[in-house]
Amino acid sequence: MKALKILIGASAAFFALTAAIYWFNLDTKAVKLIEKPMMKHYDSMPRDSRL
């Protein structure tokens, strides 16, 4: 019974969290935040550029 309550509780929390991320598009916004530093990193990488 206790296990069932925990399971239900965890599921509800999981649903609430994922639904919030989904609805407010937080996953996309998070990736957008790291875009600039990632591009900066790629630009600064040493490269063996040649034909």
Partner 1 sequence: MNKVSEKLKNSASNAISTRARIKKKGAASNLQDKTAIQKHREWRGPQDTAFDYLQWCRLWGILIKWAASHPVQNVKAVWRYRWMFSYLTVPSFFDRLCEGQRGAGLRGARNNLNYLASDVTKTLTTIFSADMHLHPGSKKAEELNKKIICVDELLPNLLGKGFPGCKMILFQEYPMYLPSLINQHSPVHYIEQSELYGLPADVCPLPSFEAGLAIEDDFPKIGCCMLTSNMPCDGSIMTTMLQERRIDLPSQVLNVPLRWKEDEVQDYAVDEIKSAIEFLEKHTGQKFDWDALAEGCEIWNKQNECKFEKWDLNRTDIPPHTGSSAWLYRIFEHQAVAGEPLALKNDLKVNRILRRQVAAGKCPKTIRHRAVLWNTPCNNYANFNNWLLNCWGIESVCEMIDIHGTDLIDTGSRESMLRGLADHYQTSTMRAHTKGGSEVMLDSLWEKYEEYNADMIIMFDQISCKGVGAINGLFEEGAMKRGIPMVRVRQDLMDPTSITRREMRNDVNVFMQSVMNEEPVDPSLVEFDDDQSW
Interacting residues with partner 1 (CB under 8 A): 18-19, 22-25, 27-29, 31-32, 34-35, 38-39, 41-42, 47-51
**Shortest spacing between CB 42 and partner 1, in angstroms:** 4
How many helices (H) and strands (E) would you count in the chain? 2, 0
Tokens 């937080």 belong to residue: 26
**Shortest spacing between CB 49 and partner 1, in angstroms:** 5
Residue 10, both tokens? 């965890």
**Shortest spacing between CB 40 and partner 1, in angstroms:** 11
How far apart CA 42 and CA 38 sit, in angstroms, is: 6
